[in-house]
């Protein structure tokens, strides 16, 4: 075979991301789970743990509640992954907040501030 050994976890992670997104869209019933977007997934090399990155729209309280709801739904998500993918061991699913958008907004704010201060100095 001509496959790169490190490619399988990436393929499994992408399949898990798709399965989780579909689960949240169609099967999630927990009212704590608000507007959630699945932004990515990482799987350990041994495929035993999957960390799913999510972006939650709302304030910090909404984010905390959504994470609690997602943690509660993790066994059902794991079952969905197991039924969709052919894996010897279905990975444990852990959810974490993706704060990339917040970091980008903060960087934009700092750059705008620097431009404003730079323009005022000249």
Residue 94 is predicted with a pLDDT of 95
Residue 1 is predicted with a pLDDT of 47
**HEC string of the chain?**
CCCCCCHHHHHHHHHHHHHHHHHHHHCCCCCCCCCEEEEEEEECCCCCEEEEEEEECCCHHHHHHHHHHHHHHHHHHHHHHHHHCCCCCCCEEEEEECCHHHHHHHHHHHHHHHHHHHHHHC
Q: Is residue 19 a contact partner of residue 82, using CB atoms and an 8 Å limit?
A: no
Q: What is the pLDDT of residues 28-65, one digit of tens each?
A: 888 899 889 999 999 999 999 999 999 998 888 999 99
Q: Is residue 56 a contact partner of residue 76, using CB atoms and an 8 Å limit?
A: no
The CA–CA distances, whole Å, from 106 to 46, 58, 98 equal 36, 17, 14
Residue 105 is predicted with a pLDDT of 77
**Tokens 């934009």 map to which residue?**
108
Q: What is the pLDDT of residues 79-102, one digit of tens each?
A: 999 999 988 899 999 999 987 877
Tokens standing for residue 101: 């958008």
Q: What pTM was estimated for this model as a whole?
A: 0.77
* Domain covering 7-121 in this structure, CATH number: 3.30.300.20
Q: Is residue 95 a contact partner of residue 74, using CB atoms and an 8 Å limit?
A: yes
């Amino acid at each position: 075979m001509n496959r790169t050994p490190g490619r399988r976890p990436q393929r499994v992670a992408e399949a898990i991301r798709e399965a989780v997104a579909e689960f949240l869209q169609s099967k999630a019933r927990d009212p704590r789970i608000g507007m959630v977007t699945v932004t990515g997934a990482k799987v350990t090399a041994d495929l035993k743990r999957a960390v799913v990155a999510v972006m939650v729209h709302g304030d910090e309280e909404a984010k905390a509640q959504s994470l609690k709801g997602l943690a509660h739904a993790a066994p059902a998500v794991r079952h969905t992954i197991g039924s969709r993918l052919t894996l010897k061991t279905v990975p444990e699913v852990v959810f974490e907040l993706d704060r990339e958008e917040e970091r980008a907004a903060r960087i934009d704010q700092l750059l705008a501030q620097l431009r404003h201060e730079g323009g005022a100095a000249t």
